[in-house]
Structure 1
């Protein structure tokens, strides 16, 4: 069913089955992951409440990750979920592997690119990118998100959004441009 979940390709009955499975919250999480993805790809914001109930799922952070991806990326509702996005950026204790935080970093960069307004997300991404206590891949994710927010391309292999590494000249450039654009103080 997931292979057919392109907009306009999935039968309405199949989408309804996926929505029913999500609403029921059945025990087979693998099928629930698939049902959420199907609803996210083929569904619409009409199912926001159905998907939103999985946004805070401490027992299974992957469900939270998928729900955040659907609501903010697939359905373009990141502005509506800024408090949740900020909480996940800050880190929640039940996201022990950082799955939700990782996707929230990426979503925050794209949200900032669309809005072009400084928010607490900008400060959080900058803090993550400059915090040497963070793992390098987390810092680099924040640097890529900031590069995306600045308009750098994810398709150009020479772009900082693709190649930036913590502590590199490209990282310093991304941070300088971020501070300039968003009028942030040097940390």
Structure 2
């Protein structure tokens, strides 16, 4: 883990930890997929992608002092990403069933496997240690100069915000325990 990390083009499906800040200067994409954690600031041109790739962005906590918590956060991020993929596949099978009335034997088998996988992932997420609440840097923020795509999850301290629709030229910050955004 470095104090500051500067990404000159883009970071795709990466795991990045910075004690203080992460800055990405890519024109089209800055950060898409993976996990990016910084103590005080994440500053990028864009987050996520049009394909709604799950992208986990966390700011506000000094994870350098919390190695075990860093590992747990990474595992939780990976599990949430896997859960989102399973949910998309289940939604597709629901649409097939809705349009055709029923699923073929192969689709029905896949559907049951996905349901089992979903239950397994959700159980693993519940079983992860919650860890201690750690102090949050009061001025921590995520600054996005262009676009944030759906599929991005922003965490500041213990607060979480899932991006459901595109937003532009936005700063995310913590106010009274909730993530707020401003242009």
TM-score range, shorter chain: under 0.3
Q: Name the one with the larger helix percent.
A: 1
Q: Name the one with the larger strand percent.
A: 2
TM-score by length of 2: 0.27
Higher relative contact order, structure no. (Cα contacts within 8 Å, ≥ 6 residues apart): 2
TM-score by length of 1: 0.27
